[in-house]
């Protein structure tokens, strides 16, 4: 009997090792998969006004919320055995990318070598106008390496690699673009399509990036907020009740608070109009 138990344990151990090898190899193929998108013809706007506006846009779009206020990188999620999300310091990356390569990384989620980026809100970035992307890249070019720069990186544990292999975690890549050359006149539609689209859909419910809770469609939830309530939500992350809004609470304080009063008013008007099209 003991012999059969030992053989069974050895067989089980062998199966576990094989499963881990297959999971690692398969997920690595997904991680290393190459993608193609034309390099955008965008050059950094290095003017003082362009850099200042790029810094504001980078904050509103969540770049500084994830990579740190000064772009030094930081850990935002650490789930042992699953995933360690540590958006890197920006200055060292920028130094190794051309302006068009940076534009492609931000807009399409495609790295310089062709691999896809993970845990990056490309769905929103994809619609950022050329002139605004030039301003953001101008701000990125203004950053300098610092002793405070994090050297931490994104890492997947065994469970995370299984999720990558089975499609539970996917590269945030869009090989096409919907971005205009200039910032559209309709500020509300533009903000919703870029800043808000990283998490929300206009008409369909999604799942939150942090805990998988439902993220409501904006055309559905938007009309519930009058303009003062929306201003409060987008500047503090606090809704009309004491309910914990999860990631939205942090995003409101760190990112959306950089929207101007005119932009918030335009978003409110746009969502009210879209609600009537349901």
Write out pLDDT tens, residues 176-235: 999 999 999 999 999 999 999 888 888 888 776 655 677 788 988 888 899 999 999 999
Q: Which residue has the tokens 């519930």?
A: 224
- Please answer whether residues 197 and 123 qualify as being in contact, where contact means their C-beta atoms are separated by less than 8 angstroms: yes
Residues 6+ apart with CB under 8 A from 147: none
- Please answer whether residues 243 and 233 qualify as being in contact, where contact means their C-beta atoms are separated by less than 8 angstroms: no
- Structure confidence at residue 275 (pLDDT): 87
**In the Cβ-directed half-sphere of 101, how many Cα atoms lie within 13 Å?**
12
**CA–CA separation, 208 and 224 (whole Å):** 20
Question: For the segment 61-96, what is each residue's pLDDT rounded down to a tens digit?
Answer: 999 999 999 999 999 999 999 999 999 999 999 999
Fold of 187-275: Cytochrome Bc1 Complex; Chain D, domain 2 (1.10.760)
What is the mean predicted confidence (pLDDT) over 136-155?
96
- Structure confidence at residue 170 (pLDDT): 92
**CA–CA separation, 192 and 230 (whole Å):** 13
**Would you give the DSSP letter of residue 115?**
B
How far from 7 is each of 3, 11, 17, 37, 88, CA to CA, in Å?
A: 6, 6, 15, 52, 46
Q: Using alpha carbons, select from 94, 97, 124, 90 the residue that is nearest to residue 108.
A: 124
Q: Is the pLDDT of residue 9 over 80?
A: no
What DSSP string describes 152-182? ---EE-HHHHHHHHHTSS-----SS----SS
The pLDDT-based confidence of 33 (bands split at 50, 70, 90) is very high
Token pair listed for 75: 């850990």
- Please answer whether residues 240 and 229 qualify as being in contact, where contact means their C-beta atoms are separated by less than 8 angstroms: yes
Query: Please, where in the chain does CATH 1.10.760 lie?
Result: 187-275
- Structure confidence at residue 215 (pLDDT): 79
């Amino acid at each position: 009997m003991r012999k059969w138990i030992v053989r069974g344990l050895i067989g089980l151990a062998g199966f576990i090792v094989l499963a881990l090898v297959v999971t690692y190899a398969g997920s690595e193929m997904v991680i290393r998969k190459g993608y193609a998108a034309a390099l955008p013809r965008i050059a950094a706007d290095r003017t003082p006004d362009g850099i200042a506006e790029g810094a504001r846009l980078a904050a509103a779009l969540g770049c500084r919320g994830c990579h740190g206020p000064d772009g030094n990188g930081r850990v935002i999620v650490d789930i042992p055995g699953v995933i360690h999300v540590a958006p890197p310091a920006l200055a060292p990356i920028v130094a190794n990318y051309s302006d068009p390569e940076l534009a492609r990384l931000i807009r399409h989620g495609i790295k310089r070598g062709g691999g896809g980026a993970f845990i990056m809100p490309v769905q929103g970035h994809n619609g950022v106008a050329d002139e605004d992307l030039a301003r953001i890249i101008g701000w990125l070019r203004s950053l300098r390496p610092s002793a405070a720069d994090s050297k931490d990186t994104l890492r997947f544990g065994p469970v995370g690699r299984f999720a990558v292999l089975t499609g539970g975690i996917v590269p945030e890549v869009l090989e096409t673009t919907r971005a205009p050359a200039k910032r559209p006149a309709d500020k509300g539609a533009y903000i919703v399509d870029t800043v808000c689209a990283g998490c929300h859909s206009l008409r369909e419910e999604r799942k939150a990036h942090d805990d998988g809770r439902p993220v409501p469609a904006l055309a559905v939830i938007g009309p519930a907020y009058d303009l003062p309530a929306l201003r409060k939500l987008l500047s503090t992350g606090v809704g009309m009740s004491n309910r914990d809004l999860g990631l939205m609470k942090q995003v409101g304080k760190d990112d959306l608070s950089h929207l101007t009063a005119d932009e918030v008013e335009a978003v409110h008007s746009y969502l009210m109009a879209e609600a009537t099209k349901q």
